Structure 1
Amino acid sequence: MNKHRIYTTSVAGVYPHYVTKAEKKGRTKTEVDEIIRWLTGYSQEEFEAQLEKQTDFETFFAEAPGMNPSRNLIKGVICGVRIEEIEETTMREIRYLDKLVDELAKGKAMEKILRKQ
């Protein structure tokens, strides 16, 4: 089975779209970065290094220092697919990120986006 094209797409190629989506709705690049750091465990410096290296999504998530255990609380539909039903791990991680950025753009509070109890 062939891998989905997003796996070999660089995070740096998609990241500006995440930022633009957030900024169009009055949110900030800093908030997008916070979401990414929360999800993956990268520090800001490590994240920026991944962007600089043009790391693809598959490697980005495989090398993440510590995926947040609360990410399994992220539920809902993204691109017509229910996140909790995605079996392939890397695709599910990508969709978690997409969903978090969507929630940010929709004006949801950071505490709720970051699943703080």
Structure 2
Amino acid sequence: MKTTPEHDERMAKMTFASVFPHYVTKVEKKGRTKEELHEVIHWLCGFDDSEIQKLIASKVTFEAFFQQASLNPNANLIKGLICGYRVEELENPLTQKVRYLDKLVDELAKGKKMEKILRKA
């Protein structure tokens, strides 16, 4: 699935710090916790709690965020629609990784069991 170059550029330049509070609000509104959100981020990217805080404090872009990440080898098992895009069909690798994270946060907020969110091969 194609995105526009402008869309991909906007995703790359967006800061993790600007989006993280929205993730927290979204999951907490649905009865989930910030700790569960951190668990999801850790599974996808390999960052622990202190690393997440450092990334927020240093206002890294999503481009830098995913350059520093150790993407889970099972990330390609993340499938489905998010923000009108089918994540498994996105052609831009960075945009796909950002949407992977969005999809996992969405599943957490929708009450999906953690075992299902943290995919196993």
Tell me the distance in 2 between the aligned counterparts of 1:35 and 1:63.
Answer: 16
Q: Could you say which residue in structure 1 is the equivalent of 2:40?
A: 35
- Quick one: percent identity of the two aligned structures? 54
How many Å separate the matches in 2 of 1:32 and 1:85? 25
- 1:47-77: CA deviation from partner (whole Å, max 9, x where unpaired): 211111000101100111x110011110001
Q: Does the 8 Å contact 2:38/2:48 carry over to 1?
A: no
Does 1:47 pair with 2:71? no
| 1:115 lines up with 2:116 in the alignment | no
Tell me the distance in 1 between the aligned counterparts of 2:72 and 2:31. 26
Q: Describe how 1:9-24 pairs up with structure 2 within 5 A.
A: 9-24=14-29
The runs of at least 4 consecutive aligned structure 1 residues that moved more than 3 Å come to none
- In the alignment of these two chains, the number of paired residues is 116
* Structure 2: tracts of 5 or more residues without a match: none
> What's the TM-score, normalizing by structure 2?
0.90
Provide the secondary structure at the position in 2 that maps to 1:87: coil
Q: Give distance in 2, aligned partners of 1:91 and 1:14.
A: 14
Separation of aligned partners in 1, 2:51 and 2:77: 25
Root mean square deviation, CA, Å: 1.2
Matched, 1:77 2:78: no
CA contact under 8 A between 2:78 and 2:100: conserved in structure 1?
Answer: yes
Cα distance, 1:116 vs structure 2:
3.6
Q: Which structure's relative contact order is higher, taking Cα pairs within 8 Å and 6+ residues apart?
A: 2
What is the TM-score of this pair, normalised by structure 1?
0.93
Cα deviation for residue 4 of structure 1 reads 2.7
Unaligned runs of 5+ in 1: none
2:64 & 2:116 partners in 1: Cα distance? 28
Is 1:6 the equivalent of 2:11?
yes
